[in-house]
Structure 1
Amino acid sequence: MNDSDTSNAQTISASAIWALERLAEIRYGRETPALGWSVTRELISAGFVNYPMNGRPNISITPAGRTFLKNRK
């Protein structure tokens, strides 16, 4: 873990961590869980998720988000 990962981990809320863990679960055709606006903004600001600008409502976890979750285990 480098310094930027550590700083993101310290500034992300428990709600955002929970939401990131739910997004990482395999859903087998189910929709992504609904996230509140503030949690979504927090995850985007931390660099843990991407939100496409083309209007599609799909959020995807970035490599940084996957690394963060892997380091928490």
Structure 2
Amino acid sequence: MTEKVDRYRQAARRESTERRYQQALAHFEEAWGGFLPASSEAIARYLADYAETLASSTLRANLAALAKWHLS
């Protein structure tokens, strides 16, 4: 793999990233009341419900955390 790809893979495994992903999952389950595994419809509703109150970067990070959970 290329050096650039390796850097991104390492960043995805960093402790701070894992902690951030856990916070995102907790927000989905506890603050919003979602269940994992989640349907694509539930995730779309979650994003829509917070679209006006959370930054787009936060929503993207939360979506990445949810995607990673479903791929694990």
Structure that is richer in helix per residue: 2
Larger radius of gyration: 2
Structure that is richer in strand per residue: 1
Q: Higher RCO, 1 or 2 (CA under 8 Å, sep at least 6)?
A: 2
| TM-score normalised by the chain length of structure 1 | 0.36
| TM-score normalised by the chain length of structure 2 | 0.36
